[in-house]
Structure 1
Amino acid sequence: MARKVNTDDFDPKKRYPAKDRQGNTITGVFYRYARRADLKGLEKSYVVVFKTRDDSGKVKTVEESVGKEFKDKMTPAKANRMRMALIEGRQKTKREKAEAEAGEWTVQDLWEFFEKKKGDKLKSFRDDRYRYREHIGKHLAKTRVSELEKKHISGIRGRMEGTHKPQTIRHVLLLLQRMVRYGVKEGGLTYPPSLSFDMPTVKNEVTEDLTEKQLDHLIEVLNNHPNKQIANLMKMAIATGMRRSELFRLKWEHINYERNFIKIVTPKGGTEVTIPLGAVARYILENHEKLDSPYVFPGKNGGQRKDCKTAVRSLVEKLDLPKGFRPLHGLRHTYASMLASSGEVEMHVLQKLLTHKSPAMTQRYAHLREAAQHRASDVASSILSKMGNGNGQDGDSR
């Protein structure tokens, strides 16, 4: 039988045994005496007791503290209602809540899941890992995914604006967006109700180009470079305008010498396409060393190449390229600029050669074609003007 506690003899320095649980007229509802927060006596601390089954089906007795007499305004009736809610599963015990919180994913948990499942498949994995570490994980690693909201997106933008380009900020936000969506799709998470992404505006109209002199120097360096794999990779970018990722995925089986075309697998536009195999590109490939790999420009152990930054960097150091010129991406622009400025290639043809999904992407080169047309018009005007000026006949011989 539990010991009775005399509240008149309460000693604030004394610890009262937890086993002193007092009974009530309501089944399953008990209380213990506990010190009040102001140390001016005791108050009843109510507990409820009930039986339930664990995951294995074994019956276990649960004792749950539900509140204090004065602090929580708890009564036996109120404690009983909470007991019934616990029994019926309408309310979780403190232990269940703690386990649920411990099991709820943080942003770091989500990243580790995303990295494990998608890391080997992502072309941009190395860049994504840096973006997460520097701009997401450093500030949001311990934040629960369910608590992500617009203010966190604004925080990322606020920290990066002024020191990073809009495109870089966009890449970071897109990574977080992909992570959340993947967690919802594959991890069983619920999309955070207050989360929305406000992406920065990116004006992707930069056209990198080389002068004729710079291009001649580049080709000369490539012709004499000892790393023929990288040299020919860059030559193909000039000769075909293929993207870096498309060159990395290029296999020998994708090259049709009989019909003179190159098949581009999974291009940026999405649909598999073919582009012409010109005489220069054909010469490069026919004289390119074929290694023990299905890939034309293989990576480690003959697999698909993932990167070439180190090799290209050593080559670029020997060149006098414009500031901010990105070697492979810039050479693609150089290819497009050469065609557009010739005045002989229609914009819709150039769009197909560059495998642009939208004509808007090709329009950045329209001014070059217009300039070529104006030059042609000026030549025609110069010739025709002789028909009516004082330096030649006016056409009437009488």
Structure 2
Amino acid sequence: MPRQQRQATKYPGVFFIEGTAKDGRTERIYYIRYRQGVKMTEEKAGRQFEHDMTPARAARIRTERIEGKTPSNTARREAVQAAKDAEANKWTVSRLWEAYKAQKTVFKSLRQDQYRFDKHLSPCFGKKEPHEIAPLDVDRLRIGLTKAGSKPQTVKNILALFKRIIRFGERKGLCPGLGFQIELPKVDNFKTEFLTTEELQRLFAALDAETNIQGANILRMCLFTGMRFGEICKLTWADLDFERGFIHCRDPKEKRSKALPMNDLARELLMGHPRTAGSPYVFPGAGGKMRTTNRDTARRIRDRAGLPKEFRYHHGLRHTMASYMANSGQVDSYVGHKALGHADQKMWARYAHLQDQTLRDAVQVPADIFKDILKGKSGPDPKVVNIAKAKR
């Protein structure tokens, strides 16, 4: 493009060239030229129509530049870029959260934690760096959640997530810590659920009447093996060792693999369970992928069996299995603890000498009790016992 003709104005250091406005009209584009120290600067002041620029206004801008009252266009652009660079290098809580997620290899509760962060943490702390957060800010969040009706466990989960994110940044050398301790609410989480003989009989009848075999068998697995729902969802056919009588659980709650003994009821269920073509999972979800929910079927079975609404259909069956095992009088509490795969490393180390047959015998006890119930025999209901306390 050829150099356009500069046209002077009556104001020193102010000139213009002619250009085309957005609406097609010819307009003047004003420039100013001035010296600061030994440096000569030339820059655009503005367009006639778009910026409502006039020679007098351009002259005033030139005077402000010379007097140092306003920065030059170049200085402003450099300042904007510096601000962007500084912002990009800030380890805000939101940026720490993204980095925290990216380095996780075992993340069982990503969906829940993402919701907690987006709903509660991001609005309060997302744009802040950890050193900008005061204890009062965390107190406001805690009080606000409580006043909004959040349960103590919900408040604890949100604050615990916030604590993990900050610790991650501090541990990786990305940012300093908060400089104060986050106090988590104390929650009494000990809850043991079990079903009576009559309730189990109704449950077995409801399971037999259920047309969703996959969903019904998941509940049976919770009861027969004491496995957690997440462990059952991850279970593949390759994890089943029918020869040795063990089920290999991958990525369980304690973030390490383990082998659970297989009793007669579990073996019979698994050997008769239908396989889904093209899927490696024993209890696959939609499209043969790993299952993430069994809520609808479980609730339908729970309601058909007349069980309490507050009964946690998956974990409650695990507790039921543990209660029958602990109260049978035939299983040592340490053996039962290991047979159920509880994540107590000291117990595991202390009783690492337990033989496979000992563990198989332990889980066979409740299986025999359930067999009697299935046959119509009734026996005494188990008492609720804390296995951890039973050893004392």
2:99 and 2:326 map into 1 onto residues whose CA distance is: 46
How many Å separate the matches in 1 of 2:205 and 2:221?
A: 15
Q: How much does 1:191 deviate?
A: 4.1
Asked if 1:301 corresponds to 2:287, the answer is: yes
Residue 326 of structure 2 contacts residue 385 of structure 2 at CA under 8 Å; is this kept in 1?
Answer: no
The answer for the alignment partner of 2:211 in structure 1 is: 226
Aligned partners of 1:267, 1:363: CA distance in 2, in Å?
A: 24
1:355 to 316, 328, 341: 341
1:45 and 2:68 equivalent? yes
TM-score by length of 1: 0.64
Query: Partner amino acid for 2:281?
Result: Y
Structure with more relative contact order (C-alpha pairs < 8 Å, separation 6 or more)? 2
1:253 aligned onto 2:275: no
Residue 171 (str. 1) matches residue 157 (str. 2): yes
User: Bigger shift: 247-256 or 134-143?
Assistant: 134-143
Match of 1:84 in 2: none
Identity of paired residues, percent?
31
CA RMSD of aligned residues (A): 4.1
Distance 1:97 1:194 in 2: 28
For residues 319 and 75 of structure 2, the distance between their equivalents in structure 1, rounded to whole angstroms, comes to 71
Shift of 1:302: 1.5
Q: Does 1:317 align with 2:317?
A: no
How much does 1:231 deviate? 0.4
Establish whether residue 135 from structure 1 lines up as the match of residue 120 from structure 2: yes
- Unaligned 5+ segments in structure 1 are 5-16, 36-42, 50-60, 66-92, 371-398
Write out per-residue CA displacement over residues 108-150 of structure 1, whole angstroms, 9 at most, x where no aligned residue: 55556666x4799633233223222332234444445663444
User: What is aligned with 1:333?
Assistant: 319
Q: C-alpha displacement at 1:192, in angstroms?
A: 4.6
The 5 A counterparts of 1:198-277 are 198-277=183-262
Could you tell me how far apart the structure 2 residues matched to 1:153 and 1:97 are? Answer: 31
Compared CA separation, residues 327 and 175, structure 1 to 2 (3 A): same
Report the CA distance shift for 1:143/1:253 in structure 2 as closer, same or farther (over 3 A): same
How many residue pairs match? The answer is: 308
The SS at the match of 2:68 is strand
1: distance between equivalents of 2:181 and 2:138?
Answer: 8
Q: Are the counterparts in 1 of residues 205 and 305 from structure 2 also a CA contact under 8 Å?
A: no
Give the Cα–Cα distance (whole angstroms) in 2 for the partners of residues 235 and 224 of structure 1: 13
Alignment partners' CA distance in 2, 1:349 and 1:237 = 19
- 1:238 and 1:45, CA in 2 relative to 1: closer, same or farther beyond 3 A? same
Q: Secondary structure at the match of 1:306?
A: coil
Q: SS at the partner of 1:345?
A: coil
Displacement of 1:235 = 0.4
**1:365 matched to 2:387:** yes
Contact 2:237 2:282 in 1 (8 A): yes
Distance 1:113 1:351 in 2: 37
AA paired with 1:137?
S
The range that moved more, 251-260 or 240-249, is: 251-260
Q: CA deviation at 1:223?
A: 1.4
Q: 1:32 to 1:181 in 2, by over 3 A?
A: farther
Q: 3-state DSSP class of the match of 2:307?
A: coil
Contact 2:333 2:390 in 1 (8 A): no
Q: Given the superposition, is the C-alpha separation of residues 308 and 183 from structure 1 closer, same or farther in structure 2, using an over 3 Å criterion?
A: farther
Give the Cα separation in 2 of the matches to 1:23 and 1:274.
78
Residue 391 of structure 1 corresponds to which residue in structure 2? none
The separation in 2 between residues aligned to 1:96 and 1:185, in whole angstroms, is 30
Distance in structure 2 (CA, Å) of the matches to 1:228 and 1:174: 38
Q: Which has the larger radius of gyration?
A: 1
> Following the alignment from structure 1 to structure 2, what is the Cα–Cα distance between the partners of residues 212 and 168?
34
Show structure 2 runs of 5+ residues with no match.
Answer: 1-10, 14-29, 42-60, 348-383
User: Residue 328 and residue 118 in structure 1: after superposition, are their counterparts in 2 closer, same or farther (change >3 A)?
Assistant: farther
